[in-house]
Amino acid sequence: MKKVAILTCSNAGLDYLDYPKDIRILRSVIHFSSDDKVYNDYIDMDAKTFYERIKKDPNDIPKTSYVSIGTMIENFEELEKEGYEEALVIVISSELSGLYEAVKRTASEVNIKVTAFDSKTLAYGEAYMVLEAHRLAEEGKSVAEIIPHLEKIRDNDMIYFAVDTLLYLVKNGRLSKLQGTLGTMLQMKPVLFIGESGKVETLEKIRTTSKAHKRVLEKYIEDTKGKNVITYISHAHADEYVAWFVEKIKEEFPEREIVVAYLTPVVGAHTGPKGIGIGYILLDK
> pLDDT digits over 114-148, tens only?
999 999 999 999 999 999 999 999 999 999 999 99
Tally Cβ neighbours within 10 Å of residue 20: 13
219 vs 79: CA distance, rounded Å:
43
Specify the pTM.
0.95
- pLDDT at residue 169 in the model: 76
More confident residue, 194 or 165: 194
pLDDT in tens, 241-283: 999 999 999 999 999 999 999 999 999 999 999 999 999 999 9
- Quote the Cα angle for 16-201-14, to 5°: 10
The DSSP result for 108-158, as a single string, is TTSSSEEEEEE-SS-HHHHHHHHHHHHHHHHTT--HHHHHHHHHHHHHTEE
Alpha-carbon torsion (131, 136, 141, 145), positive or negative? negative
Quote the percentage of the chain above a pLDDT of 90. 83
What does the DSSP 8-state code read for residue 263?
A: P
Alpha-carbon torsion (168, 242, 29, 44), positive or negative? positive
CATH code for 157-282?
A: 3.30.1180.10
33 vs 69: CA distance, rounded Å:
24
Res. 174: pLDDT tops 80? no
Tally Cβ neighbours within 10 Å of residue 197: 10
- pLDDT at residue 89 in the model: 99
- pLDDT at residue 155 in the model: 97
- pLDDT at residue 134 in the model: 98
Q: Diameter of the chain by CA atoms?
A: 59
pLDDT level of residue 74 (50, 70, 90 thresholds): very high
More confident residue, 187 or 228: 228
**Where exactly are the structural domains of the chain?**
4-28+66-155, 157-282
Res. 173: pLDDT tops 70? no
- pLDDT at residue 23 in the model: 98
Q: With contact defined as beta carbons under 8 Å apart, do 160 and 191 qualify?
A: yes
CATH code for 4-28+66-155?
A: 3.40.50.10440
What does the DSSP 8-state code read for residue 266?
A: H
What does the DSSP 8-state code read for residue 100?
A: H
68 vs 28: CA distance, rounded Å:
8
Kindly report the average pLDDT of the chain as a whole number: 93
Query: Per mean pLDDT, which range of 50-59, 72-81, 169-178 is the poorest?
Result: 169-178
140 burial level (CB within 10 Å; 0-12, 13-18, 19+): exposed
What does the DSSP 8-state code read for residue 249?
A: H
Alpha-carbon torsion (36, 42, 45, 49), positive or negative? positive
- Report the pLDDT averaged over residues 36-63: 94
